[in-house]
Structure 1
Amino acid sequence: MLARRDPHGLWPLFAAFAITGGLSLYALALARANHSPVALWLANGALVGWLVQRPLARTWPLLLASFLGFVAAKLYLGDALSEAVLIGVCNVLETAIVCETIHRRFPSITPHTRFMDLARVGVLSALAASVICALAMMWIMNLWAQLDVLMVANTLFRAHFVGMVISGSTSLAIVTPYLWRLKPARPGTLVRDLGLLAALTAGVLVESRVPLVFLVYPQLLWLVFRHRFVGMVVGVAMIAVGVSLATTLGIGPFNLVVGATPAFRVAMGQVFIGVTCLVALPVVLALSEQDRLRKQMQESELRYRLLADNSGDLVMRIRSNGDRMYVSPSVKDLLGWEVEDFQRPRPDLIHPDDRERIASEVAKLRMQGGDTTATYRLQHKDGHYLWIEAFARLVPSPDGDDAKDIIYTGRDVTERVCIEQALMESQSQMRTVTDNIPAVIARIDMDERYTYVNRFVEQISGEVPPEIIGRTVHEVRGNALYDRLKPYLERAYAGQPVMFEYEATYRGKPMHFQSHYVPDRDAHGRVRGVYALTTEITHIKNTERELLRIAHQDSLTGLANRRYFSERVPVFLKQAQQHDMAVLLALVDIDNFKTINDTYGHAIGDVVLAEVGQCLQKLVREGEIVARIGGDEFVVVCNDINNIKQAKAFVQSLWERLHMEIDTGVAQVKVSLSVGAAICLNEISADAVMKLADDALYKAKEAGRDTYRFLTHGLGDNGGNDDNSSSETIKLRRAQ
């Protein structure tokens, strides 16, 4: 299944199996052939380079392959399966501990990785893993009963620890290309230097009469100095393999100790290999770290120089005396000056209005340190001025004289400043316009706080904008008015423009307002506030009321006119029908009014009309209608009638009280009236009711005037008959 899913993934497994099995077979077979302990265990560290940059969850196939390789080597040598499996688990555990510890601290090894920290973590994790593995193997192999148990444990620990350091660093260097490029050299030079070290190592290990093994150190250090990690890893590996062969085969200077046992020779070889690592590893780490920092500094300087030389901004390094140690070439494009022209201080190029301020900023910067930003004008070589936004920071001088230099960066912001000035001018003009518009213009944020109010608010409420801005609508308007405004605010916050009217009292005077709330949206369409335009419409409302009064009122008598009567009667009748009530409509006509006009004149006639109108107004109650609908014709409508008798009494009272003698100042005019009344139930047609009342009036005039008649409709058998002589009480409401 694995092969079908990822055919290329099998090759690392085969490699892990072969490398671990091969190294294990080599170390075990060599030790057993010479009846000595294993001098150098390289198998566990060989996988470190592959596994250290991967999480443990992804490395188990390689660990399993290496485990199988070790078990295969043990079985090939005739060892028991149980022992091979247990010791294989120990080796896998040792490898996993080292790899996971390094991976957690350094998930990836990059040019920015600190090699000192990497080496420290790797050595400490290898030390801990080797101790655990050695103790576990002592228990598995039942070596605690031996007399030299400490020597055995020490030998196992050294073989695993030194082998882990050597093979682990070797494999890591092999799979990390960056480590090969730290100190690049020609391949021929590397081969030559390695050949010299190999020849020297073979020579000192073959010589058994004089201990000359220390002679390998100068050549090893030379390899480290010339080739860094590659030289150290390959060189130490060559020395370690040579020493392990010599100690295992019983040759070389390690036999100079009289009576040395194979275990002692192995221990001596392990100590030598360990000392070799301790000699080479710190040197290569220090040199590699130095190379890394030097390279980063060079790259940083190159990037800075590239940015400074090609940036459109003006970059300068200024000494305390004003000399400019560096001026970027952009000064030519920015200000027209050559770099040489700008090396010396040029305060004369600063606009006269800005010189004192800039000098003060520079003095403050040199006294207090830190950084500062200033915008000022600099003169172009052509004579015009540019607005420059400058950022300056006081830093230690790189010349190492304890002086402080100013790093200056300036850019042309002339266009931005011109836009800002135009914007400020526009805002000033806009404020002038809004402050003089006869309406209150305000902006309210999402917290219901005023962020802007124009000055017209002073004429309305007496408050000035600074007293309002920052306060909430509830705080400014009060409880009662806020409760009326809040529903409209909520609709505006929901994204709906809304227009409404309301009343409020300011300075003790009731006023009418019309407000228009418009949502304020950002670039993404989200509501971020509300614009409010509020106009005082008190004079409009007063005018509307006056116009309504003129349209609905008779100017001579002060009563409602025919238009108002025509609009109100249908509503009056509909309400009466809904409540199952009767309606009384009485037409009142002044007898012989034309004779009064002809005899006394129209002015006296008008006085008579006014007096009759006032008398009628006094006779009706609130809610009832009295109107002048013609020259001398009036109408009275009421719906508080319970029976025919009450209706007759009301009409008779009306007729009697309208008999009067009016003092006009010129003559005493006697007035009599004819009344025609109609009482209807469930009649919603105003024309029908008027027709019935008009018929009753006609009967009154036909009877000789100065009398009244009324007709009924919808009241049973008596409907439509003259009921002037009847005194019988008839209920007008229908039986429920």
Structure 2
Amino acid sequence: MFFRHYPERVWQCIALFALTGGLALYSIMLARATHSPTSLWLVNGAMVGPLVRKPLSQARPLLISGFLGFLAAKQLLGDPFVASVLLGLCNMLEALLVSVAIRSRFPKINSHTRFMNVARVGLISALVACGACTFGVASAQHFWPTLAFWETFNSLFRSHFLGMVIAGSTSLIVVTKGWQLSEPFGRPWRLMRDLSLLALTTAAVFCMSRFPLLFMVYPPLLLLVFRHRFAGLVIGMAIVALITTAATMLDIGPFNLVHDATPQLRIVMAQVFIGVSCLVALPVALALAEHERLQARVRESELRYRMLADNSGDLVMRIRPNGDRQYVSPSIRELLGWEVSEFTKPRQDLIHPDDRERIADVVATLRAEGGTVTATYRLQHKEGHYVWIEAFARLVASPDNDGTTEIIYTGRDVTQRVLVEQALQESQAQLRTIADNVPAVIARVDMSERYTYVNRFVEQVSGETPAQMIGKTMREVRGELLYERLKTYLKRAYAGESVMFEYEATYRGRLLQFQAHYVPDRDAEGRMRGLYALTTEITHIKNVERELLRLAHQDSLTGLSNRRYFNERISSVLRQCVQFGKPVLLALVDIDNFKSINDSHGHATGDMVLSQVGQSLQRLVREGEVVARIGGDEFVVLSDNLANEGSADAFVHSLWERLHVAVAVGTGNVDVCMSIGAVWCKGAVSDDVLMKLADEALYVAKAAGRDTYRLLIRSLQDSESGAQAASRPGHLQI
């Protein structure tokens, strides 16, 4: 029952049982065969990685599996049962202490985690845990503080701590980073070549007993780490450790050059060499990983900045000391009508003649004193008229690190606001003449929140006349519910802030959307006496935005989602499936002989076929499933609601069976058949690999004569490149 509900946990426990048992057998049998103490105890470190991934409440099965693996190894070697149990408990306690220390400091380790910090916590906790547990084991074997006690403690502590450093870091890196992230070049044959070079070099060093050539191990080890990152570190240190311990305990190698060296001294020297090798290689791998992480974050920051700047309605520029524009955002076309290439050189002639001297002084002051500055001036549009620009500029050090400074410039069109501000300075008569012809509601509200002026455009929006509103409070006119939403912005405007925001309200039975701009009204002495409210209906703009968004994600012929929407959805679906441990199914649907249908019956018939297939797919899929047209006659179905292989096979079979459609053409019908390639995957997989597997299944289906389907089943342990598939009708297992 437990295996049926939690198959992943069961396999983890079995694997950990085999791993701890095998490592214990190797270490103990090698030590007994050479009549020397154990030089490298790897059992406890191997358990750290799996334990770190689980909270303490779920780690009990793993601890029991590791304990049973060690106990089984001891019993196979004929050791006393009670002593083996006590030693096994100490081993499990040591691994548990290290994993709890790491997990308490880093609850979730991902690509953004600094592994240098993880290594620091792991090293300190390993010192404490190994010291405490080996002290307990030595106390159980000898009376304290005899010489035999300290000899046992010294031997156990060195082998446990060294094994914890090597096996612990190896298991932690394997379970947290994964092999695909460890090897950046993705070429296994290169890894095998470099591993072979390290193995041959290490073996040659220990075969040359007459010369101390241990330093020859470091070049191929560091080369392996540099080329293959954590994969090279993990496997390389394992090779060095195994060859070193085996050769030393078999009385082979350069450690025999030490005069009168005892087996215990040779083991100590081997442990020191392994530890130093690990301390040399591990910081290099961590530093490379940190460098790549920082580079990725810099690239991500640059991409986000560029995306924001390119899609912002404001004009964004980087201006060099000579006036050249290092960067000009594409919004220049919408704002001033100029192309980016036409605006990369200084264009003082575009500044209004009345503003040139003032802006030149502002720029000179900014370059001389630094800081930030805000200026409002006029720029000439390509069509000849002038646009009021509110510019915010900051002097910063050049990101090119050449010792120069640049001006980061952000400008926005404030022509409407400037015109309103100028109009407010004119007489009341002029204000009414202008305001009553502006397609927006303009109002003045005094300090008691009563309307003192409203232009006539309000009649077109709410149906109320200005006379009905003047003298009433905003709460009375707008209603209690809408007033509560506007009250916060009113307070900010009364505090002297110019506020622009959007809201929605219902007038004449229609839900309308507005953009409002509250401008403080001050007297000649700067005291607040009310505010001006400029309200524009933007319902049609919002509707157009929503329609554009819909069109950007919908295929116009079939009404299904398009490739862009599918590419956006598949990544989020795969992340959720990994997070919640759910399988995912991807099916590629291809119309058989669609080109012959177009050639024989015309493109109009082909469009009818595509439309009917799209409608059929839309009816067949369930809520939460994604169906899209991603090519000419190619459709895709993405589902995360199929819990097992049987339901996946039934779903694909039903999809294929019910997609046979007949399209009426003249007096006859065109029978449409489908080929489907699907993959059902459980575990982490990228969208590219998932599409590749589904495409391979589709190829198999077409090779089988079309009008059929093939389903690939991919388990958690499969590599992303796929494996040799075993075929049966309608179903492939990989």
TM-score by length of 1: 0.56
Q: Is the 8 A contact 2:315 2:332 kept in 1?
A: yes
| Aligned partner of residue 315 in structure 1, secondary structure | strand
Moved more, 366-375 or 393-402: 366-375
The 3 A distance-change label for structure 1 pair 135 and 453 is same
Provide the aligned C-alpha RMSD in A: 3.8
Q: Is the 8 A contact 2:134 2:153 kept in 1?
A: yes
Q: Is the 8 A contact 2:450 2:474 kept in 1?
A: no
The 3 A distance-change label for structure 1 pair 88 and 422 is farther
Q: Percent identity?
A: 55
2:274 is equivalent to residue 270 of structure 1: no
Kindly state the Cα deviation for residue 408 of structure 1 after the two structures are TM-superposed: 1.3
The 3 A distance-change label for structure 1 pair 288 and 6 is closer
Partners of 2:376 and 2:281 in 1: CA distance: 57
| Cross-structure match for 1:88 | 88
Partners of 1:310 and 1:517 in 2: CA distance: 38
CA distances 1:610-655 after superposition (whole Å, capped 9, x unpaired) = xxxxxxxxxxxxxxxxxxxxxxxxxxxxxxxxxxxxxxxxxxxxxx
CA distances 1:201-259 after superposition (whole Å, capped 9, x unpaired) = 12222332322222111111111121122112211110001111112222222233343
Aligned residue type for 1:259: D
| Aligned partner of residue 366 in structure 1, secondary structure | helix
Alignment of 1:169-568 (within 5 A): 169-175=169-175, 176-177=177-178, 180-181=181-182, 183-309=184-310, 311-414=312-415, 450=448, 518=476, 521=479, 523=481, 526=484
CA distances 1:300-359 after superposition (whole Å, capped 9, x unpaired) = 334444544555443221123433233334434432333343233223322345445544
Kindly state the Cα deviation for residue 77 of structure 1 after the two structures are TM-superposed: 2.2
Q: Is the 8 A contact 1:521 1:528 kept in 2?
A: no
| Cross-structure match for 1:724 | none
| Cross-structure match for 1:678 | none
Kindly state the Cα deviation for residue 25 of structure 1 after the two structures are TM-superposed: 1.9
Kindly state the Cα deviation for residue 417 of structure 1 after the two structures are TM-superposed: 5.9
| Cross-structure match for 1:32 | 32
Q: Give the number of the structure whose alpha-carbon radius of gyration is greater.
A: 1
Partners of 1:13 and 1:77 in 2: CA distance: 22
Aligned residue type for 2:13: L
Moved more, 273-282 or 202-211: 202-211
2:71 is equivalent to residue 71 of structure 1: yes
Aligned residue type for 2:121: V
Partners of 2:123 and 2:198 in 1: CA distance: 25
Partners of 1:428 and 1:17 in 2: CA distance: 89
| Cross-structure match for 1:123 | 123
Q: Is the 8 A contact 1:316 1:408 kept in 2?
A: yes
Q: Is the 8 A contact 2:198 2:217 kept in 1?
A: yes
Kindly state the Cα deviation for residue 379 of structure 1 after the two structures are TM-superposed: 1.1
Q: Is the 8 A contact 1:365 1:372 kept in 2?
A: yes
| Cross-structure match for 2:141 | 141
Kindly state the Cα deviation for residue 522 of structure 1 after the two structures are TM-superposed: 5.6
Q: Is the 8 A contact 1:52 1:99 kept in 2?
A: yes
| Cross-structure match for 1:55 | 55
Kindly state the Cα deviation for residue 10 of structure 1 after the two structures are TM-superposed: 0.8
The 3 A distance-change label for structure 1 pair 198 and 415 is farther
Partners of 1:326 and 1:261 in 2: CA distance: 71
| Aligned partner of residue 199 in structure 1, secondary structure | helix
Partners of 1:427 and 1:69 in 2: CA distance: 94
Q: Is the 8 A contact 1:350 1:377 kept in 2?
A: yes
Aligned residue type for 1:124: I
CA distances 1:443-483 after superposition (whole Å, capped 9, x unpaired) = 99xxxx9455969xxxxxxxxxxxxxxxxxxxxxxxxxxxx
The 3 A distance-change label for structure 1 pair 515 and 16 is closer
| Cross-structure match for 2:160 | 160
The 3 A distance-change label for structure 1 pair 71 and 422 is farther
Kindly state the Cα deviation for residue 42 of structure 1 after the two structures are TM-superposed: 0.9
Gaps spanning 5+ residues in structure 1: where? 434-440, 456-513, 532-736
Moved more, 84-93 or 311-320: 311-320
Q: Is the 8 A contact 2:445 2:452 kept in 1?
A: no
Q: Is the 8 A contact 2:255 2:266 kept in 1?
A: yes
| Cross-structure match for 1:43 | 43
Q: Is the 8 A contact 1:442 1:451 kept in 2?
A: no
Partners of 2:321 and 2:429 in 1: CA distance: 42
Q: Is the 8 A contact 1:315 1:408 kept in 2?
A: yes
Aligned residue type for 2:352: H
The 3 A distance-change label for structure 1 pair 396 and 72 is same
Partners of 1:516 and 1:104 in 2: CA distance: 55
| Cross-structure match for 2:110 | 110
Aligned residue type for 1:242: I
| Aligned partner of residue 203 in structure 1, secondary structure | helix
Kindly state the Cα deviation for residue 168 of structure 1 after the two structures are TM-superposed: 1.7
Q: Is the 8 A contact 1:205 1:243 kept in 2?
A: yes
Q: Is the 8 A contact 1:182 1:291 kept in 2?
A: no
Partners of 1:516 and 1:402 in 2: CA distance: 56
Partners of 2:80 and 2:319 in 1: CA distance: 79
Q: How many pairs were matched up?
A: 462
Q: Is the 8 A contact 1:173 1:179 kept in 2?
A: no
Kindly state the Cα deviation for residue 271 of structure 1 after the two structures are TM-superposed: 0.7
| Aligned partner of residue 44 in structure 1, secondary structure | helix
Q: Is the 8 A contact 2:255 2:269 kept in 1?
A: yes
Aligned residue type for 1:241: L
Kindly state the Cα deviation for residue 185 of structure 1 after the two structures are TM-superposed: 4.3
The 3 A distance-change label for structure 1 pair 181 and 353 is farther
CA distances 1:416-443 after superposition (whole Å, capped 9, x unpaired) = 666888899999969x99xxxxxxx999
Q: Is the 8 A contact 2:451 2:473 kept in 1?
A: no
Partners of 1:178 and 1:356 in 2: CA distance: 63
| Aligned partner of residue 82 in structure 1, secondary structure | helix
Gaps spanning 5+ residues in structure 2: where? 436-442, 454-471, 491-734
Partners of 2:136 and 2:162 in 1: CA distance: 18
Kindly state the Cα deviation for residue 195 of structure 1 after the two structures are TM-superposed: 0.5
CA distances 1:362-406 after superposition (whole Å, capped 9, x unpaired) = 344334433344443321111112233433222112343433211
Partners of 2:50 and 2:178 in 1: CA distance: 13
Q: Is the 8 A contact 2:314 2:413 kept in 1?
A: yes
Aligned residue type for 2:193: R
CA distances 1:540-590 after superposition (whole Å, capped 9, x unpaired) = xxxxxxxxxxxxxxxxxxxxxxxxxxxxxxxxxxxxxxxxxxxxxxxxxxx
Q: Is the 8 A contact 1:83 1:141 kept in 2?
A: no
Aligned residue type for 1:269: A
Q: Is the 8 A contact 1:190 1:231 kept in 2?
A: yes
Partners of 1:427 and 1:270 in 2: CA distance: 95
Partners of 1:322 and 1:522 in 2: CA distance: 54
Q: Is the 8 A contact 1:54 1:107 kept in 2?
A: no
